[in-house]
């Protein structure tokens, strides 16, 4: 039993699932579901469709180079059955899977490293620009204690920039 990969989204196609298209030059295109098949018929490029593995690989969303990728591969030469080897392989699969999951988690963590700071900064800027929506400008002028701390930050940054320019 061979588990094939979907041409479009690279997910696993189990026996009895999906659909396959055989082009008139005998090339086989396998699809895991009608979504992928339709996208193929629309001549979409999987590298440009965000939810495919090909896109995610190309844009650094997933791990690209890892030693755990060397284990799963298409073996075109049949191997003689050996009970011991099979048992060892089954044991190894679990271990390798654990390692890969951990590495993927680490990769994701590294990728999301600066995200919180960026989000915080964006929120601050939004608040700064839209403060008039929260509090009327007149009220702010009368009672400056409401936004004092924020104004402090706002003023200090341009000052630093001016000094740099001078």
Partner 1 sequence: MGGKCPHRKVKKRRFSNKRARRSNFLLKGNDLVFDELKKLTEGEQMKPLPLNEDLPGMGQFYCAHCDRYFADEEVRGEHYRSKRHKKRVKEMNGPSPHRQLDAELAAGMGMPDNGPKLMTMSLSPSLSLPS
How far is the CA of 12 from the CAs of 18, 59, 107, in angstroms? 10, 21, 22
Say whether residue 7 binds partner 1 (CB under 8 A).
Answer: yes
Q: Residue 47 or 121: which CB sits closer to partner 1?
A: 47
Q: How far apart are CA 31 and CA 42, in angstroms?
A: 14
* Only segment of 3-11, 81-89, 129-137, 148-156 that touches partner 1 (CB under 8 A): 3-11
| Interaction mask 113-152, partner 1, x per CB under 8 A | ----------------------------------------
> Using CB atoms within 10 A of its CB, is residue 70 exposed (0-12), middle (13-18) or buried (19+)?
exposed
**Tokens 């003689």 label which residue?**
80
Residue choice 47, 59, 125, 154 for contact with partner 1 (CB under 8 A): 47
Minimum CB–partner distance for residue 28 and partner 1 (Å)? 8
Copy the structure tokens of residue 34: 């009608």
- Strand (E) or helix (H) holding 21: strand 19-22
Site for partner 1 in 50-89 (CB under 8 A): 52-54, 56-57, 68-77
Q: Residue 20 or 132: which CB sits closer to partner 1?
A: 20
Copy the structure tokens of residue 137: 């400008």
* Only segment of 4-12, 80-88, 111-119, 122-130 that touches partner 1 (CB under 8 A): 4-12
Q: Residue 59 or 125: which CB sits closer to partner 1?
A: 59
Q: Residue 30: which of 15, 50, 47 has the closest Cα?
A: 15
Q: How far apart are CA 5 and CA 11, in angstroms?
A: 5
Task: Write out the residues near partner 1 by the rule CB under 8 A.
Answer: 5-12, 23, 25, 27-30, 45-47, 52-54, 56-57, 68-77, 100
């Amino acid at each position: 039993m061979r588990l094939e990969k979907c041409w479009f989204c690279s997910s696993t196609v189990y026996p009895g699932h999906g659909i396959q298209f055989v082009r008139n030059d005998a090339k086989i295109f396998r699809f895991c579901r009608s979504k992928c098949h339709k996208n193929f018929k629309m001549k979409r490029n999987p590298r440009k469709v965000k939810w495919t593995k090909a896109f995610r690989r190309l844009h650094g969303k997933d791990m690209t180079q890892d030693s755990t990728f060397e284990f799963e591969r298409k073996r075109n030469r049949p191997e003689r059955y050996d009970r011991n080897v099979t048992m060892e392989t089954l044991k190894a699969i679990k271990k390798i899977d654990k390692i890969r999951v951990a590495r993927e988690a680490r990769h994701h963590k590294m990728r999301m490293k600066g995200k919180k700071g960026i989000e915080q900064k964006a929120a601050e800027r939004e608040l700064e620009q839209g403060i008039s929506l929260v509090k009327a400008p007149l009220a702010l002028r009368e009672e400056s204690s409401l936004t004092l701390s924020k104004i402090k930050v706002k003023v200090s940054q341009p000052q630093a920039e001016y000094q740099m320019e001078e």
